[in-house]
């Protein structure tokens, strides 16, 4: 399952509960843990009195740093997807742009409505659903789902993950 902001928030909440850490945002908690590990006082986290708690806080510092990085990557990807969706344009007939869509009038006698984006297109089916075909994979769903599916597959291809 891929991360969502909701799943990341639940993961942070569960981690804090398991490690007896206060329920704070990850970046605030990382600052507090780092300060405690550096010997500074904290109003939220007691200084470790024994090695076990110091180890837990040291592990938490590493985990929180990685968690914050994942959150920032999600925010960047979310913003990129939003900008990318806005760059899409509606077309009444995808056959009019065969260099982008590779849908030709001789293959499809009826007009094919859809949206064109930088890396590809989605086709509007007669039932109001949208269809995306990338390579040998096909997806059917709402416009938002089809856009997300196209974006995810485009991003994977750009990063070399197939």
pLDDT, residue 161, reads: 46
Convert the pLDDT of each residue in 45-57 to its tens digit.
Answer: 988 887 888 899 9
Asked if pLDDT for residue 90 goes beyond 60, the answer is: yes
CA atoms within a 13 Å half-sphere pointing along the CA-CB vector of 100: 18
Tokens 């990341």, located at residue: 8
Distance of CA 119 to the CA centre of its chain: 18
Reported confidence tier of residue 135, pLDDT bands at 50, 70, 90: low
Asked if pLDDT for residue 156 goes beyond 60, the answer is: yes
Look at residues 98, 88, 152 and name the one whose alpha carbon lies nearest to residue 122: 88
Least confident of 22-26, 74-78, 106-110: 74-78
The chain-wide mean pLDDT, for the chain, equals 82
Look up residue 57 and give its two tokens: 């806080």
Look at residues 129, 93, 98 and name the one whose alpha carbon lies nearest to residue 110: 93
**Average of pLDDT values for 2-8?**
75
Write down the domain spans for the chain.
Answer: 5-86, 89-159
pLDDT, residue 125, reads: 79
Greatest C-alpha distance within the chain? 77
Cα angle 148, 149, 150 (rounded to 5 degrees) comes to 90
* pTM tops 0.85, yes or no: no
């Amino acid at each position: 399952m891929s991360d969502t902001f909701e799943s990341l928030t639940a993961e942070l909440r569960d981690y804090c509960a398991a490690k007896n850490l206060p329920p704070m945002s990850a970046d605030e908690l990382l600052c507090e843990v780092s300060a405690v590990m550096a010997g500074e006082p904290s109003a939220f986290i007691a200084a470790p009195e024994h090695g076990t708690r110091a180890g837990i806080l040291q592990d938490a510092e590493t985990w929180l740093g990685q968690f914050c990085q994942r959150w920032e990557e999600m925010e960047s990807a979310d913003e990129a997807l939003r900008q990318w969706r806005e760059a899409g344009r509606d077309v009444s007939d995808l056959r009019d742009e065969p260099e982008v869509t590779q849908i030709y009038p001789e293959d499809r006698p009826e007009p094919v409505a859809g949206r064109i984006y930088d890396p590809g297109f989605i086709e509007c089916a007669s039932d109001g659903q949208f269809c995306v075909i990338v390579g040998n994979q096909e997806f059917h769903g709402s416009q938002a789902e089809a856009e997300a599916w196209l974006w995810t597959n485009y991003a994977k291809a750009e990063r070399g993950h197939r």
